[in-house]
Structure 1
C-alpha cells in the first residue's frame, strides 16, 4: 500500500504543522552544528511538508541570516558568539533548501561583510571558517556558487602558501644556536 504525498501533507497540516514549525524554530534558534544538521535532514523530506510549513521555515532561516548580516554591520566589538552558526557548513546546506535570487543577494552581502572583517585581521580563524563553509551554499545563480567556491580556494591557497613559507634565515640560525647551547650545557652537567 502506498500513500500519496498529498495525503501525507494533509495529515501533517491537520496534526503536525504547528509542532513542526515550533521544533524547527527551537532548533534553529540554538544555532548548534548538530541541530542545524537535524534541520537539514528534515528539509531533505521537504516534498512531504505542506507549503505553509515550508514557507514559515523559510522565513525563520531568512531571519537567522538577516540577524547575522545586521550584527556584522553594526558590531564594533570582536564578539561573534551570537552568530557562530555562520561558520558551520550545515547552515549553508540549510540555506540551500531555500535558494532564491533574494537569498543569493543576501549571501553576497554576507560574503562582503565577512571578507571586510577578514581583511581587518581580527578573528581570522572565525572568518576563515565562514568563508570555507559558505562554499557549500548551493546558489540559485550558479555564478554566485562559483564565487563562493573560488573564495574558499583562494583562502586555502593563501593558507598553504603561508604554511609552506620558509623560516627567516636569522630565525634558523637562532634555533641552531639555542640547540647547540643546550647540547653544550647538558654535556657540561654530566
Structure 2
C-alpha cells in the first residue's frame, strides 16, 4: 500500500517539557514544551537532563496523526519560517503540572485549541526527519481547488412592480399614498 492509498498515517511522538524556576513570586515554576522526538517509546515523566533547578522530562508519548483532509493545513504549516508541531497541554494536579493531550502538525487545529481558555498550546520546531515525513504525506494528498467565480443571474427584476405600494388602493397614479378612511 502506497502513501497515497492511505487516508491517515500515525507516528508516536515524544514530548519534552522543561521545568525551570519562575521569574515572579506568583509563578514558582515555568513549564514549556521544548522538543519532540519522532518514533519515541512510551514514557511517563522520565527525566532526561538536569542543570541546577532546570529539568527536562520526556513527559509523554502521543500519536501524531496525519489525515488526508488536512493536507492543505500541513502545507501551510510547512511553509512558515520555522515548521512546527503544536503541543496541546492542560493543567493537571500532582507533581506533573501539565498533562499532554495531543500533538498536531496542523496550525489550524493548533489555533482551534488555543482559542479555548482551558488548553495550553506550545509551538515546538519540527526535526528535519519529521518535516520530510509530513511534507511527503501532504504533497501526496493535497488537491488544488479550482476557484469558481459565482455569476449573477441575468434576469431583469427591476421592471416588475408587483407588491409595490398598498394593495388596498385601486388607482395606479400614486401607489405610495396611504388609504383613506372610507365613509359610509
Is TM > 0.5 for Structure 1 vs Structure 2?
A: no
Higher Cα radius of gyration: 2
More helix by share: 1
Instruction: Please report the TM-score for the alignment, with normalisation by the length of structure 2.
Output: 0.26
Instruction: Please report the TM-score for the alignment, with normalisation by the length of structure 1.
Output: 0.26
